[in-house]
Amino acid sequence: MTQRFVQFVMMQSQNAALFLGQLPNPHGETPEINLDVAKMFIDQLVMIRSKTKGNLSTEEMGVLNNAISNLQMAFYEVSQKQSGAETGGTAAPEPAEAKTAPASDAPDAKEPVAEASESEPRKKFSKSYGAS
């Protein structure tokens, strides 16, 4: 199970790295940078860490923590390069969290969304892989 968990973490890390432009695009095009998608993969790893707290071996936790910290640093660097390119390099650096914050910075705007999603019933999804 440790090997599968590590493979899962590495797969999520590679997906985030792909959208941070750190890995070549599989289609042979220029590297794609999409900070929103990269942030989603990083946030998923952070969620896995919080949901599995106390249930991981030292090795698993180490791999997960290293992946998260490396990706967060890469995200910050890429977001700084993009903000510098957009403003001609004259803007002061902003934290990565500020780059990915929703348009509404009001704390009240985040609260109702969380409450509404908690009150909705959980939806179940199934995926077919062609076997009928």
What is the structure's pLDDT at 72? Answer: 96
**Does pTM top 0.85 for this prediction?**
no
DSSP label at 55?
S
**Where in the chain are the domains?**
2-119
What is the structure's pLDDT at 74? Answer: 95
Beta bridge partners of 20: 33
Whole-angstrom distance, CA of residue 65 vs CA of residue 57 = 12
In order along the chain (132 residues), what is the average pLDDT of each group of 10 residues?
A: 92 94 80 91 96 94 96 95 72 43 40 44 49 47
Backbone torsions φ then ψ of 88, nearest 5 degrees: 80, 15
Q: What angle do CA 80, 86, 90 make, to 5 degrees?
A: 70
What is the structure's pLDDT at 10? Answer: 96
What the block records as the tokens of 96 is: 């990565």
What is the structure's pLDDT at 130? Answer: 54
Beta bridge partners of 33: 20
Whole-angstrom distance, CA of residue 108 vs CA of residue 119 = 17
